[in-house]
Each structure stands twice: as structure tokens, then as C-alpha cells.
Amino acid sequence: METILSFAAILLLGLLAARLLRRVKFPAVTAYLLLGILIGPEVLGLVARPILGVTGSISNIVLSFVAFGLGQNFSRENFSRIGKSVLWISLLEASGAWLLVTFSCLYLLRQPLPVCLLFGAIASATAPAATVMVVRESGAKGNFTDTLLGVVALDDAWCLIIFAISLALAKGLVHSGGESFHLSAAFVRSLLEIGGALGLGTLMALIFTYFSRHLRSPGDLLIYTLGFILLNTGLAIYFHLSVLLASIFLGVVLVNINKTSFRFFDTLRTVDSPLYLAFFVLAGASLEVHVLGKLGLLSLSYFIFRILGKVGGASLGGWISRAASPIKKYLGFALVPQAGVALGVALIAKAEFPSMGGMIFTTIVATTVLYEIVGPFFTRWALRKAGEIGTE
């Protein structure tokens, strides 16, 4: 089908699906994903393959919007209020999932150590877009929600470091020798990537603020904000930096140096919904559902132990940082969704280890289908248990 016609179908059917599935209390994200699977090339084939080609650009744009919005949560006021919890919880839930998945894979399933390390590292990733979408749809507000959004943002940085270390360890184990050298180099490289994203985001935020005094109308505000986010994302891609982190840092720096920065965040929220919709439907369309048939013991144990790791780690982090009781109890469950970031790192693993990478990738693809569909329910459940969803 023609490109523009496919987009029309995605938007219109997406609206319809969300409306229908709301009757059975499905989150909109899940409705979009299911619709995507239905009209995708594996089932009805309504979405042409060429469209999936621009999916990369659309998902980068949407992820950068999401990440930019997440940056707003790191204002100085917010940070002094929940900063400590966010740091501890994100660090511990990420490494909790990493360790638990690695050990369960190693001792329960008797897989080789390099494979287990990579699985563990991928397990640390979460899905910021899905989480943000559920929060927005449910209109959740409060300490729990703020902490959750902070954790989801910071999580990406930890995931980057953890994956770099695991990859280096796995490489060292496979090729044997020179392992320690690889490890420190990998650590430095991941720090460089984070530093690069920080540098880019900061620089763009400074330029952004400097020229923002020329803005007059609401229309100006939108062009300007949108243009800068895209410029920032485009540059991040160009320099091979993390799109997510660069956009988060743009938001973080902006919210802290510009007193009226809320205007920029708000203006974006008025227009981004069609993009979100298209993003999730396309994500669904590009899921390889047939892989679900290959769901084995490995995927199952990955699925379960990642959740256990997240929940345990988040509780521990909440306990150390003396967070409120709902945070200790439920925050980990809100972190269940997993999507693009995991697929991205799994793809790197596949490229680095052609022999065993294929198996890792297939497993992650299968569990991603599960997590994407089930995850939003977990997140919404956690938000409701924490009492932060108003009257629905």
C-alpha cells in the first residue's frame, strides 16, 4: 500500500482500537501494539514493508520527545526531594535484574557464562516510552509517579554502562586473555558515550536558552522546541551517541537554567499524540510474532527473573533511601515494560557474537513481545496500588 495511505490507516485504526479496547480496560499502548501486530506484515499485511523502513526515524523522534519530557523531572526542586531515591532505586533495580538474570541463567539453565552475562545486561533495560504513555493516559500524579519517571530516565545510563561492561567481559571470556584491559576500556568508552551525550545536550540547551528570547507567539514556541529536539537527536545519531541520553540531558539542563522552561515541555505535549500512536502501532507491526512459538525455558526464566530482579532491586533501593512505603512495595512492578532499547542492545550482541548472538536475539525478540503487551498492565496496576491515579 502507498506510504501516506498506510499512515492514514495507522492513525485511524489506532484511534478505533484504543477506543474499543478501553471498554475492556486495556491501556492504549497495548491497544496500539496489538493493532500493529494485526495489520503488520505477519498477519494482515496492511502496512507495507517500506514503511517499516522509516520506523527507525519515527521511533528515534518519539524516543527523543519522551526522553526530553523525562528530563523535566530533574529540576533542582525535584532532585532534592526524590533524587536520592531515584539514584538508589535505579542503580539497584538495573543491577538487580542484571545479577538475577545472569545467575539464574548460569546455575538453573547451565548456559555458558558469556551468554548469561549478555542476557543479564539486556535485562536491565526498561521502556521509557511505554511507561510515560501509561502515566499520561492514567493521569497519575504524585511522589511515586515522579520517582518512577526519574528511575526510567536514569535507568538508560546504567543500562549503557552495564551492557558495555558485560560485553567486554563476554568478549574477554570468549577470546580469553587481555580481559582486564578490555574491561577498563569498555568502561571508559561507555563513560565517554554518556559524557558525549551530556556535552551535546548541555551545549544545545545553552544555545536554546540564548536564542529563546526571540520567541513571541505559541506557534514560535513549538517550531523552536521541536526544531531543537530534532537537531539534538540528529546530531546524537550523527556522532553515534545515545539518542535517549542526549535528549534527557537537553531536558535536564533546560529545566535547570531556564525559569520558564515549562512552556517548552507543555507545547510539545499538545501535539505529540499522533506521533506516539504511530510509534506504538509501528512497533507492533515490526514485532516478529512468529518467534513466540520458539518461547522456551530460557525466555521463560529470563521473563520471570528480570521481573524479580527489578522488584527486588527497587525495594532494596527504596529501603536504603527511606522512600515511602508504596514506592518500596510497587515501584519495581511499574518497570516491567521492555522494548526498543533491549532490542537495540540485543542487536549489538548479535553483531559481536555471531555464534551465540542469534539465540540471544531471538529470545529477546520473543520476550519483548510478551513484555510489551503485559508490561503496561503491570505499570498501571502499580500506579493504582500506589494510589496516584485519580478517579477514573
Interacting residues toward another protein by CB under 8 A: 2-12, 14-16, 19, 54, 57, 60-61, 214, 217-220, 222-224, 226-235, 237-238, 270-271, 273-274, 277
**Chain CA centroid to CA 219, Å:** 30
CB of 79 to another protein, least distance (A): 29
Task: State the nearest-atom distance from the C-beta of 133 to another protein, in Å.
Answer: 12
CB of 4 or CB of 297, closer to another protein: 4
Calculate the alpha carbon distances from 164 to 174, 185, 186, 211, 277 in Å: 15, 9, 6, 37, 32
Task: CB nearer to another protein: give 23 or 110.
Answer: 23
**How far apart are the C-alpha atoms of 55 and 61, rounded to whole Å?**
10
Q: How far apart are CA 137 and CA 28, in angstroms?
A: 8
| Cβ proximity to another protein, 25 vs 110, nearer residue | 25
Of 180 and 273, the one with the shorter C-beta distance to another protein is 273
- Shortest distance (Å) from residue 266 CB to another protein: 12
Listed residue (355, 356, 283) closest to 127, CA to CA: 283
Q: How far is the CB of 223 from another protein (least distance, A)?
A: 5
Q: How far is the CB of 7 from another protein (least distance, A)?
A: 5
Q: Which is nearer to another protein, 8 or 44 (CB)?
A: 8
Task: Give the shortest CB-389-to-another protein separation in angstroms.
Answer: 17
Q: Kindly state the smallest distance separating residue 10's Cβ from another protein, in Å.
A: 8
Nearer residue to another protein within complex by CB, 80 or 270: 270
Nearest CB to another protein, comparing residues 296 and 344: 344
Judged by beta carbon, residue 2 or residue 352, the one nearer another protein is 2
Q: Shortest gap between Cβ of 224 and another protein (angstroms)?
A: 6
Q: How far is the CB of 271 from another protein (least distance, A)?
A: 5
What nine digits make up the cell of 106?
548460569
Residue 63 or residue 115: which is nearer to another protein going by CB?
A: 63
